[in-house]
A and B are shown apart, each in its own frame.
Chain A
Amino acid sequence: MEVSPSPSDSDLARTRPQPSWWSSMLSPLQSLSTNRRALPWLVQGGVGLLLLLMIAFLLANLVRNLSATGLLLTWRWLGQPAGFDVSESLLPFSPDLPYWRALLVGLVNTLRAVIVGLIGSTLLGTLVGMASFSSNALLRRLVRLYVEINRNIPLLLQLVFWYFVVFLALPNGSAALQLPGVVLAKSGLYLAGAAAHGWQLPTLVNGVWQAPLRLSVEFAALLTGLIVHISAFIAEVVRGGIASVPRGQWEAASSLGLHWWATLRRIILPQALRVIVPGLNSQYINLAKGTSLAVAVGYTDLYSVAETTLNQTGRAIEVYLILLSAYLIIDLGISAVMNGLNRLVQLRER
Chain B
Amino acid sequence: MMTSPPPSAAPLMIEARAVHKWYPNGFHALRGCDLRVARGEVVVIMGPSGSGKSTFLRTFNALEDFQQGSIVIDGIPLCDDLRQIDAIRREVGMVFQQFNLFPHLTVLQNLTLAPVLVRRRPRDEVEAQARRLLERVGIAEQADKFPGQLSGGQQQRVAIARSLCMEPRILLFDEPTSALDPEMVREVLDVMQTLARDGMTMVVVTHEVGFARQVAHRVVLMADGEVVEEAPPQQFFTAPAQDRSRRFLEQIL
B82, A34: Cβ atoms closer than 8 Å: yes
B84, A13: Cβ atoms closer than 8 Å: yes
B80, A12: Cβ atoms closer than 8 Å: no
A1, B164: Cβ atoms closer than 8 Å: yes
Residues of A contacting B200 in the complex (Cβ-Cβ under 8 angstroms): 1, 3
Residues of A contacting B201 in the complex (Cβ-Cβ under 8 angstroms): 3
Write the nearest CB–CB distance from A153 to chain B, whole angstroms: 35
Residues of A contacting B87 in the complex (Cβ-Cβ under 8 angstroms): 9-10, 12-13
* A6 and B167 contact, Cβ closer than 8 Å, known pairs A1-B195, A13-B83, A34-B81: yes
Q: Among B76, B194, B198, B201, which residue has the most Cβ atoms of chain A within 10 A? A: B76
Complex-state Cα separation, A122 to B201, whole angstroms: 65
Complex-state Cα separation, A39 to B82, whole angstroms: 9
What 0/1 readout, one digit per residue, does chain B (184-227) give for beta carbons within 8 Å of chain A?
Answer: 00000000001100111100000000000000000000000000
Interface size on B, residues (CB 8 A): 26
B83, A34: Cβ atoms closer than 8 Å: yes
Write the nearest CB–CB distance from B53 to chain A, whole angstroms: 24
Write the nearest CB–CB distance from B24 to chain A, whole angstroms: 14
Residues of B contacting A5 in the complex (Cβ-Cβ under 8 angstroms): 169
Residues of A contacting B75 in the complex (Cβ-Cβ under 8 angstroms): 10
| Residue B244 is within 8 A (CB to CB) of chain A in the complex | no
B83, A1: Cβ atoms closer than 8 Å: no
Interface size on A, residues (CB 8 A): 17
| Residue B127 is within 8 A (CB to CB) of chain A in the complex | no
What 0/1 readout, one digit per residue, does chain A (24-46) give for beta carbons within 8 Å of chain B?
Answer: 00000001001111110000000
| Residue A349 is within 8 A (CB to CB) of chain B in the complex | no
Residues of A contacting B74 in the complex (Cβ-Cβ under 8 angstroms): 10
Residues of A contacting B15 in the complex (Cβ-Cβ under 8 angstroms): none
> Who on chain A is nearest to B91 by CB?
A10
| Residue B85 is within 8 A (CB to CB) of chain A in the complex | yes
| Residue B123 is within 8 A (CB to CB) of chain A in the complex | no
Number of A-B contacts (CB under 8 A): 50
| Residue B162 is within 8 A (CB to CB) of chain A in the complex | no
Residues of B contacting A37 in the complex (Cβ-Cβ under 8 angstroms): 80
Residues of A contacting B81 in the complex (Cβ-Cβ under 8 angstroms): 13, 31, 34-36
Complex-state Cα separation, A39 to B81, whole angstroms: 10
B80, A36: Cβ atoms closer than 8 Å: yes
B136, A1: Cβ atoms closer than 8 Å: yes
Write the nearest CB–CB distance from A40 to chain B, whole angstroms: 12
Q: Which among B83, B133, B194, B198 is the interface contact of A12 at CB below 8 angstroms?
A: B83
A36, B82: Cβ atoms closer than 8 Å: yes
Write the nearest CB–CB distance from B216 to chain A, whole angstroms: 17
> Who on chain A is nearest to B199 by CB?
A3
A36, B198: Cβ atoms closer than 8 Å: no
Complex-state Cα separation, A3 to B83, whole angstroms: 24
> Who on chain B is nearest to A36 by CB?
B80
Write the nearest CB–CB distance from B80 to chain A, whole angstroms: 4
Residues of B contacting A3 in the complex (Cβ-Cβ under 8 angstroms): 40, 169, 198-201
Complex-state Cα separation, A171 to B84, whole angstroms: 82
A35, B82: Cβ atoms closer than 8 Å: yes
A35, B80: Cβ atoms closer than 8 Å: yes
Give 5 closest A-B pairs by Cβ, nearest first. Answer: A34-B82, A36-B80, A13-B84, A35-B80, A10-B76
User: B interface vs A, CB < 8 Å?
Assistant: 40, 65, 74-76, 80-85, 87-88, 90-91, 133, 136, 164, 167, 169, 194-195, 198-201
Given A3-B199, A6-B167, A13-B83: 8 more A-B contacts, CB < 8 Å: A1-B136, A1-B195, A3-B201, A4-B167, A12-B87, A13-B87, A34-B81, A36-B81
